[in-house]
Protein backbone atom coordinates (compact mmCIF):
# COMPACT_ATOMS: atom_id res chain seq x y z
CA UNK A 1 0.00 0.00 0.00
CA UNK A 2 1.29 3.41 -0.99
CA UNK A 3 2.23 6.01 1.62
CA UNK A 4 2.28 8.96 -0.74
CA UNK A 5 0.29 11.87 0.75
CA UNK A 6 -3.19 12.18 -0.74
CA UNK A 7 -5.51 15.15 -0.64
CA UNK A 8 -8.41 14.72 1.74
CA UNK A 9 -11.62 16.45 2.71
CA UNK A 10 -12.26 18.08 6.08
CA UNK A 11 -14.89 15.45 6.86
CA UNK A 12 -12.37 12.70 6.16
CA UNK A 13 -9.90 14.40 8.46
CA UNK A 14 -12.55 14.48 11.17
CA UNK A 15 -13.26 10.75 10.88
CA UNK A 16 -9.57 9.91 10.81
CA UNK A 17 -8.70 12.12 13.79
CA UNK A 18 -11.51 10.53 15.79
CA UNK A 19 -10.52 7.02 14.76
CA UNK A 20 -6.96 7.57 15.96
CA UNK A 21 -8.17 8.17 19.51
CA UNK A 22 -9.55 4.66 19.78
CA UNK A 23 -7.71 1.54 20.93
CA UNK A 24 -8.19 -2.22 20.94
CA UNK A 25 -9.25 -2.02 24.58
CA UNK A 26 -12.16 0.31 24.00
CA UNK A 27 -15.80 -0.66 24.20
CA UNK A 28 -17.60 1.99 22.16
CA UNK A 29 -21.25 2.91 22.08
CA UNK A 30 -21.56 4.05 18.49
CA UNK A 31 -24.03 6.49 16.98
CA UNK A 32 -24.85 6.75 13.29
CA UNK A 33 -22.93 9.02 10.90
CA UNK A 34 -19.54 10.43 11.79
CA UNK A 35 -19.10 8.26 14.94
CA UNK A 36 -19.86 5.09 12.98
CA UNK A 37 -17.31 5.99 10.30
CA UNK A 38 -14.66 6.79 12.92
CA UNK A 39 -15.19 3.63 14.96
CA UNK A 40 -15.20 1.33 11.97
CA UNK A 41 -12.16 3.05 10.49
CA UNK A 42 -10.33 2.39 13.75
CA UNK A 43 -11.41 -1.24 13.61
CA UNK A 44 -10.20 -1.60 10.02
CA UNK A 45 -6.84 0.05 10.73
CA UNK A 46 -4.98 0.16 14.05
CA UNK A 47 -7.62 -1.22 16.48
CA UNK A 48 -8.90 -4.50 15.01
CA UNK A 49 -10.03 -5.76 18.41
CA UNK A 50 -12.07 -2.71 19.38
CA UNK A 51 -15.54 -3.58 20.65
CA UNK A 52 -18.39 -1.74 18.92
CA UNK A 53 -21.91 -1.60 20.30
CA UNK A 54 -24.95 -0.04 18.66
CA UNK A 55 -27.99 0.84 20.73
CA UNK A 56 -30.16 -1.58 18.75
CA UNK A 57 -28.65 -4.30 20.93
CA UNK A 58 -25.81 -5.57 18.77
CA UNK A 59 -22.77 -6.39 20.92
CA UNK A 60 -19.26 -6.63 19.46
CA UNK A 61 -20.39 -6.03 15.89
CA UNK A 62 -18.06 -5.92 12.86
CA UNK A 63 -20.03 -4.46 9.93
CA UNK A 64 -18.33 -4.55 6.53
CA UNK A 65 -20.38 -1.53 5.45
CA UNK A 66 -21.57 1.37 7.56
CA UNK A 67 -25.18 0.97 8.63
CA UNK A 68 -27.69 3.59 7.48
CA UNK A 69 -29.65 3.13 10.70
CA UNK A 70 -28.52 1.87 14.08
CA UNK A 71 -30.57 -1.28 13.47
CA UNK A 72 -29.44 -2.45 10.03
CA UNK A 73 -29.32 -6.22 9.56
CA UNK A 74 -25.59 -5.99 8.86
CA UNK A 75 -25.00 -5.09 12.51
CA UNK A 76 -26.85 -8.15 13.79
CA UNK A 77 -25.31 -10.50 11.21
CA UNK A 78 -21.79 -9.57 12.27
CA UNK A 79 -22.41 -9.21 16.03
CA UNK A 80 -21.17 -11.57 18.70
CA UNK A 81 -24.73 -11.47 20.02
CA UNK A 82 -27.78 -9.27 20.03
CA UNK A 83 -29.75 -8.35 23.12
CA UNK A 84 -33.08 -6.62 23.58
CA UNK A 85 -33.18 -2.84 23.85
CA UNK A 86 -34.19 -2.72 27.54
CA UNK A 87 -31.25 -4.98 28.36
CA UNK A 88 -28.94 -2.82 26.24
CA UNK A 89 -29.82 0.27 28.21
CA UNK A 90 -29.96 -1.45 31.59
CA UNK A 91 -27.12 -4.00 31.69
CA UNK A 92 -24.69 -2.61 29.15
CA UNK A 93 -24.99 1.18 29.13
CA UNK A 94 -26.26 1.87 32.67
CA UNK A 95 -24.27 -1.16 33.78
CA UNK A 96 -21.13 0.92 33.23
CA UNK A 97 -19.57 -1.42 30.67
CA UNK A 98 -18.92 1.17 27.95
CA UNK A 99 -15.61 3.01 27.91
CA UNK A 100 -16.39 5.51 25.16
CA UNK A 101 -19.68 6.93 24.02
CA UNK A 102 -19.67 8.75 20.72
CA UNK A 103 -22.09 11.62 20.31
CA UNK A 104 -22.87 14.27 17.76
CA UNK A 105 -25.52 16.93 17.82
CA UNK A 106 -27.10 19.85 16.04
CA UNK A 107 -25.62 22.30 18.54
CA UNK A 108 -22.89 22.39 21.17
CA UNK A 109 -21.86 25.03 23.69
CA UNK A 110 -18.51 25.87 25.25
CA UNK A 111 -18.96 23.32 28.00
CA UNK A 112 -19.78 20.52 25.55
CA UNK A 113 -23.46 20.36 26.40
CA UNK A 114 -25.44 19.25 23.32
CA UNK A 115 -28.79 20.10 21.79
CA UNK A 116 -30.58 17.75 19.43
CA UNK A 117 -34.12 18.62 20.53
CA UNK A 118 -35.39 22.01 19.37
CA UNK A 119 -34.34 25.40 18.05
CA UNK A 120 -36.60 28.04 19.52
CA UNK A 121 -39.17 27.49 22.24
CA UNK A 122 -39.92 23.86 23.14
CA UNK A 123 -43.69 24.33 23.00
CA UNK A 124 -43.61 26.32 19.73
CA UNK A 125 -40.34 25.41 18.08
CA UNK A 126 -38.74 27.13 15.13
CA UNK A 127 -37.10 23.83 14.17
CA UNK A 128 -38.09 20.54 15.68
CA UNK A 129 -35.01 18.30 15.79
CA UNK A 130 -35.19 14.51 16.30
CA UNK A 131 -34.71 14.58 20.10
CA UNK A 132 -32.40 12.83 22.49
CA UNK A 133 -32.71 9.16 21.64
CA UNK A 134 -29.97 7.39 23.53
CA UNK A 135 -27.84 10.49 24.04
CA UNK A 136 -28.87 11.71 27.54
CA UNK A 137 -27.95 8.41 29.18
CA UNK A 138 -24.96 7.78 26.91
CA UNK A 139 -23.63 11.13 28.14
CA UNK A 140 -24.20 10.13 31.74
CA UNK A 141 -23.20 6.48 31.83
CA UNK A 142 -20.18 5.96 29.55
CA UNK A 143 -16.74 6.34 31.12
CA UNK A 144 -15.98 9.19 28.76
CA UNK A 145 -17.56 10.87 25.75
CA UNK A 146 -16.10 11.79 22.39
CA UNK A 147 -18.08 14.27 20.34
CA UNK A 148 -17.70 14.58 16.55
CA UNK A 149 -19.29 17.54 14.79
CA UNK A 150 -18.47 19.72 11.81
CA UNK A 151 -17.85 23.32 12.84
CA UNK A 152 -20.13 26.22 11.97
CA UNK A 153 -21.39 29.22 13.92
CA UNK A 154 -24.97 27.85 13.99
CA UNK A 155 -23.71 24.59 15.50
CA UNK A 156 -21.08 25.89 17.95
CA UNK A 157 -23.21 28.39 19.85
CA UNK A 158 -22.89 30.72 22.82
CA UNK A 159 -26.13 29.50 24.44
CA UNK A 160 -28.12 26.36 23.78
CA UNK A 161 -31.90 26.73 23.52
CA UNK A 162 -32.24 23.26 25.05
CA UNK A 163 -29.82 20.92 26.79
CA UNK A 164 -30.45 17.44 25.44
CA UNK A 165 -27.24 15.85 26.74
CA UNK A 166 -25.22 17.09 29.66
CA UNK A 167 -21.55 17.80 29.09
CA UNK A 168 -19.81 19.93 31.72
CA UNK A 169 -22.86 22.09 32.55
CA UNK A 170 -21.64 25.59 33.40
CA UNK A 171 -18.12 24.49 34.16
CA UNK A 172 -15.79 22.40 36.27
CA UNK A 173 -17.44 20.47 39.07
CA UNK A 174 -20.98 20.54 37.72
CA UNK A 175 -20.93 16.86 36.85
CA UNK A 176 -19.77 15.93 40.31
CA UNK A 177 -22.44 18.16 41.87
CA UNK A 178 -25.10 16.18 39.98
CA UNK A 179 -23.67 12.92 41.28
CA UNK A 180 -22.29 11.84 37.90
CA UNK A 181 -19.27 9.60 38.36
CA UNK A 182 -18.25 9.51 34.71
CA UNK A 183 -15.86 11.89 32.96
CA UNK A 184 -18.21 13.37 30.38
CA UNK A 185 -16.88 14.84 27.12
CA UNK A 186 -13.09 14.61 26.98
CA UNK A 187 -12.60 15.30 23.25
CA UNK A 188 -14.50 17.19 20.59
CA UNK A 189 -13.24 16.20 17.18
CA UNK A 190 -14.32 18.59 14.45
CA UNK A 191 -13.54 18.93 10.77
CA UNK A 192 -11.06 21.71 11.60
CA UNK A 193 -9.55 20.91 14.97
CA UNK A 194 -9.68 18.94 18.22
CA UNK A 195 -10.91 20.55 21.44
CA UNK A 196 -10.60 19.36 25.02
CA UNK A 197 -12.11 20.69 28.22
CA UNK A 198 -9.67 22.85 30.13
CA UNK A 199 -8.38 21.13 33.26
CA UNK A 200 -9.29 24.11 35.48
CA UNK A 201 -12.55 25.38 33.98
CA UNK A 202 -13.84 22.56 31.75
CA UNK A 203 -14.29 25.09 28.94
CA UNK A 204 -13.56 23.62 25.52
CA UNK A 205 -10.09 24.58 24.36
CA UNK A 206 -8.56 23.95 20.97
CA UNK A 207 -5.61 21.62 21.47
CA UNK A 208 -4.86 20.59 17.88
CA UNK A 209 -5.41 22.13 14.46
CA UNK A 210 -5.87 19.88 11.46
CA UNK A 211 -3.22 20.35 8.72
CA UNK A 212 -3.51 23.66 6.93
CA UNK A 213 -6.22 25.02 9.22
CA UNK A 214 -5.67 28.44 10.86
CA UNK A 215 -6.90 29.76 14.20
CA UNK A 216 -9.05 32.27 12.34
CA UNK A 217 -10.78 29.56 10.36
CA UNK A 218 -11.60 27.69 13.55
CA UNK A 219 -12.87 30.86 15.25
CA UNK A 220 -15.02 31.64 12.21
CA UNK A 221 -16.79 28.31 12.69
CA UNK A 222 -17.59 28.98 16.35
CA UNK A 223 -20.20 31.23 17.95
CA UNK A 224 -18.19 31.95 21.07
CA UNK A 225 -14.71 33.31 21.55
CA UNK A 226 -12.53 30.26 21.52
CA UNK A 227 -9.63 29.50 23.80
CA UNK A 228 -6.53 27.93 22.31
CA UNK A 229 -4.11 25.79 24.27
CA UNK A 230 -0.63 27.09 24.89
CA UNK A 231 0.86 24.05 23.26
CA UNK A 232 -1.23 23.88 20.12
CA UNK A 233 -0.20 20.94 17.97
CA UNK A 234 -0.94 20.11 14.38
CA UNK A 235 -2.87 16.91 13.67
CA UNK A 236 -0.80 14.51 11.56
CA UNK A 237 -2.04 14.44 8.00
CA UNK A 238 -4.05 11.36 7.07
CA UNK A 239 -1.92 8.54 5.75
CA UNK A 240 -2.65 7.10 2.35
CA UNK A 241 -3.77 3.92 4.07
CA UNK A 242 -6.25 5.74 6.31
CA UNK A 243 -7.78 7.55 3.36
CA UNK A 244 -7.97 4.49 1.18
CA UNK A 245 -9.65 2.38 3.84
CA UNK A 246 -12.08 5.15 4.74
CA UNK A 247 -13.02 5.74 1.10
CA UNK A 248 -13.40 2.02 0.46
CA UNK A 249 -15.72 1.83 3.45
CA UNK A 250 -17.85 4.71 2.19
CA UNK A 251 -17.94 3.30 -1.35
CA UNK A 252 -19.06 -0.13 -0.10
CA UNK A 253 -21.63 1.58 2.09
CA UNK A 254 -23.11 3.61 -0.76
CA UNK A 255 -23.36 0.55 -2.97
CA UNK A 256 -25.03 -1.40 -0.18
CA UNK A 257 -27.57 1.36 0.48
CA UNK A 258 -28.59 1.51 -3.17
CA UNK A 259 -26.91 4.84 -3.85
CA UNK A 260 -24.44 5.24 -6.72
CA UNK A 261 -20.94 5.46 -5.26
Partner 1 sequence: MAEFVSLAEGIESVVRDGCSVAMEGFTHLIPHAAGHEAIRQGRKRLTLIRMTPDLIYDQMIGMGCAEKLVFSWGGNPGVGSLHRLRDAVENGWPHRLELEEHSHAAMANAYEAGAANLPFAVFRGYKGVDLPKVNPRIKSVTCPYTGEVLATVPAIRPDAAVIHAQKADREGNVLLEGIVGVQKEAVLAAKRSLVTVEEIVEDFGPRNANAVILPSWAVTAIARVPGGAYPSYAHGYYKRANDFYIAWDKIARERDTFMAWMKANILEQGPEVFAHHAGLARQAA
Report, as residue numbers or ranges, the catalytic residues. Answer: 55
Residues 6+ apart with CB under 8 A from 66: 36, 37, 40, 249, 250, 253
Select from 5, 48, 96, 212 the one that contacts partner 1 (CB under 8 A).
96
- 224: nearest Cα among 151, 149, 162: 151
The smaller minimum CB distance to partner 1, of residues 29 and 209, is found at: 29
The answer to whether 221 contacts partner 1 (rule: CB under 8 A) is no
The answer to whether 261 contacts partner 1 (rule: CB under 8 A) is no
Per-residue contact flags (x/-) with partner 1 for residues 173 to 212, judged by CB under 8 A: -xx--xxx--------------------------------
Buried b / exposed e over 163-201, threshold 16 CB at 10 Å, is bbbbbbbeebebbeeeeeeeebbebbbbbbbbbbbbeee
CA distance 211 to 235: 6
Select from 89, 102, 146, 156 the one that contacts partner 1 (CB under 8 A).
89
The smaller minimum CB distance to partner 1, of residues 133 and 224, is found at: 133
Which residues of the shown chain bind partner 1 in the complex (CB under 8 A)?
Answer: 27, 32-33, 51, 55-60, 67-73, 75-76, 79-86, 88-91, 93-97, 117, 122-123, 125-137, 140-141, 162-166, 169, 174-175, 178-180, 256-259
Amino acid sequence: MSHTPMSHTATEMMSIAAARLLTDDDVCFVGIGAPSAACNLARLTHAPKITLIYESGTLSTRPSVLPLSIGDGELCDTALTTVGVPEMFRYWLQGGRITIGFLGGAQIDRFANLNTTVVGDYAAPKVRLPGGGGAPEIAGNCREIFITMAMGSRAFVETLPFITSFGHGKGKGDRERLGLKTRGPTKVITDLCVMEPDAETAELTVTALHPGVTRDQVQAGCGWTLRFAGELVETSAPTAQEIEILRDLHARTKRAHGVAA
